[in-house]
């Protein structure tokens, strides 16, 4: 898969998780695991990029005597999800066309 496409998908997956409620890094990794493998070294740069783009906000809460960073989606983040869904609908049209044109053409040459 193209790295730029994957990067965009990771961002939107994280935003989608946050649309269900605020969360922190370790929990996000656990929640995304059924969909894709994601390491801390990948997650935190994505979170910083999303924060810089105003797609999420960060706040701290004390937990067991330590501050834990929480992430919350913003209206800009919700807008990004909707843009992704529209873009993906466009990509799916192209995919469906290519799949239909090439259905049953294995082993044939022109």
**Whole-number Å distance between alpha carbons of 65 and 78:** 32
Residue of 31, 76, 24, 81 lying closest to 47 (CA atoms): 24
108 assigned to some structural domain: no
What CATH number is given to the structural domain containing 94? 1.10.10.10
**Whole-number Å distance between alpha carbons of 58 and 70:** 6
pLDDT tens for residues 50-91? 999 999 999 999 989 999 999 999 999 999 999 999 988 888
14, 50 contact by CB (below 8 A): yes
- Using pLDDT thresholds of 50, 70 and 90, give the confidence band for residue 107: low
**Whole-number Å distance between alpha carbons of 75 and 83:** 12
Give the tokens for residue 29: 């990794």
107 assigned to some structural domain: no
109 assigned to some structural domain: no
74 assigned to some structural domain: yes
Q: Specify the number of domains making up the chain.
A: 1
- Using pLDDT thresholds of 50, 70 and 90, give the confidence band for residue 12: very high
Enclosing domain of residue 16 = 3-102
pLDDT tens for residues 22-56? 999 999 999 999 989 889 999 999 999 999 999 99
């Amino acid at each position: 898969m193209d790295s730029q496409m994957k990067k965009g998908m990771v961002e939107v997956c994280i935003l989608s998780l946050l649309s269900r409620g605020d969360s922190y890094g370790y929990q996000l990794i656990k929640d995304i695991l059924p969909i894709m493998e994601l390491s801390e070294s990948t997650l935190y740069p994505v979170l910083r990029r999303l924060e810089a783009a105003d797609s999420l906000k960060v706040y701290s809460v004390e937990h067991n005597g330590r501050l834990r960073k929480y992430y919350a989606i913003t209206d800009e983040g919700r807008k990004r999800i909707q843009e992704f869904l529209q873009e993906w609908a466009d990509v799916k049209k192209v995919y469906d066309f290519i799949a239909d044109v090439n259905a049953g053409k294995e082993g044939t040459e022109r």
